Amino acid sequence: MSSPGSVPVAVQTAETVAHVRATVDAARRRGNRVGLVPTMGALHAGHMSLISAARRECDFVVVSIFVNPTQFGPQEDFGKYPRDLPADLALCARAGVDAVFCPSPAEVYPTGFASFVEVAGLSDVLEGKIRPGHFRGVATVVLKLFEMVRPDVAYFGRKDYQQQTIIRRMVADLNVPVQIHVCPTIREADGLALSSRNVYLNPNERHSALALSRSLQLARESLAGGERDVGHLRTRMRDLLASTPLVRPDYATIVHPDTLAEASSPLPTLVALVAAKVGATRLIDNEVISLESAGQTHMAQ
Ligand code: AMP
């Protein structure tokens, strides 16, 4: 990774709870504000934007890299999820991360593990309806990461809109002493939201995958243009997905930003969310649309 003459940079890693706790405790004793960026690795510019935000706002930045088995369904891609720890560590080192927590599944879920976190309601719609148990796994691992690392601030992407909504609910409900910072979605120049799963796409699928961001663009532009029939708009978003080769929509909807309930009429702020299989790869995307400024929002968010 290093050019001739440059000193290769390394980052401290911790594989056990005891090690990461000791590392973070020492930083906190030095008066450091601790930021945590939870990830499943295969880091891309989306993850790096979270790390940059943490680097700007915190003294000590921990990135966790853990492909969490409990959030994958039995037919899902846990086994083949992209993993490249050496590349991830190099990226973290170059981004000035202070420590990477990369535990094994057995460290996180030792024999006899039996406790799970359930955020009722919010976890049962959209992604939760299609991926039963997914958010139980997410909420459980995120609460465990908060307990293991004990950060002051944790960074999440708006790309996973429902996930950050559920985590904010969990933190409020369970009085978890962590601040949640949500960062904008990072996209390719043509609008495709960055995702570790994009590597699964072949060139034709990659082209078809643009239907997701296009259907969000349709929602935004239609609302900006005065469309107020939200039901009709949902149908048009879904039709755009369904009429694209290789794309099979799971949902295309417009919801309340906090409750995730389907909006029947325009609210000051709405969230358009889409999920679809593109070939064999399942992708999700969303856009927060403010009706006052719908004409000005753009796909950078
Ligand atoms: P993951 O490794 O997919 O679990 O993602 C780790 C974190 O990165 C989550 O908070 C995601 O929402 C966030 N993230 C993933 N993709 C993006 C993106 N394109 N832009 C911003 N954040 C993202």
Residue from 37, 50, 77, 186 whose mutation best tests the ligand 1 pocket (most atoms within 8 A of CB): 50
Closest residue by Cα to residue 122 from 103, 136, 110: 136
Dist CA 24 CA 191 (whole Å): 37
The minimum-distance atom of ligand 1 relative to the CA of 49 is 21
Q: In angstroms, what CA-CA distances link 231 with 219, 234, 259, 262, 289?
A: 11, 5, 18, 9, 16
The reported pLDDT for the residue numbered 9 is: 80
Compute, in degrees rounded to 10, the torsion defined by CA atoms 252, 258, 260, 265.
Answer: -70
* Backbone CA torsion sign across 108, 114, 115, 118: positive
* Centroid of ligand 1 to alpha carbon of 100 (angstroms): 16
Residues 6+ apart with CB under 8 A from 114: none
The reported pLDDT for the residue numbered 227 is: 94
The minimum-distance atom of ligand 1 relative to the CA of 184 is 21
- Which residue is associated with the tokens 């325009």? 266
Residues in the chain where the model's pLDDT stays below 70? 1-8, 293-301
Percent of the chain, pLDDT > 90? Answer: 92
Q: What residues does ligand 1 touch, defined as CB less than 6 Å away?
A: 39-40, 46-47, 49-50, 156-157, 159-160, 183, 185-186, 193-196
- Is residue 47 annotated as a catalytic residue, yes or no? yes
Nearest CA residue ID for atom 10, ligand 1: 156
Closest residue by Cα to residue 205 from 270, 278, 282: 278
Dist CA 298 CA 51 (whole Å): 23
Provide the phi-psi class of 150: left if phi over 0, else alpha when psi is between -120 and 50, else beta: left
* Centroid of ligand 1 to alpha carbon of 76 (angstroms): 18
* Centroid of ligand 1 to alpha carbon of 4 (angstroms): 33
- Packed helices 17-29 and 134-149: angle between N→C axes, nearest 10 degrees: 50
Residue from 97, 159, 187, 283 whose mutation best tests the ligand 1 pocket (most atoms within 8 A of CB): 159
The reported pLDDT for the residue numbered 294 is: 60
The minimum-distance atom of ligand 1 relative to the CA of 40 is 2
Nearest CA residue ID for atom 5, ligand 1: 39
Closest residue by Cα to residue 251 from 157, 113, 151, 131: 131
Active-site pick, 19, 44, 47, 181: 47
E strand or H helix at 20:
helix 17-29
Residue from 49, 160, 171, 212 whose mutation best tests the ligand 1 pocket (most atoms within 8 A of CB): 160
pTM of the model: 0.95
Q: Are 93 and 67 in contact (CB under 8 A)?
A: no
Neighbour-count burial of 176, counting CB atoms closer than 10 A to its CB (0-12 exposed, 13-18 middle, 19+ buried): middle
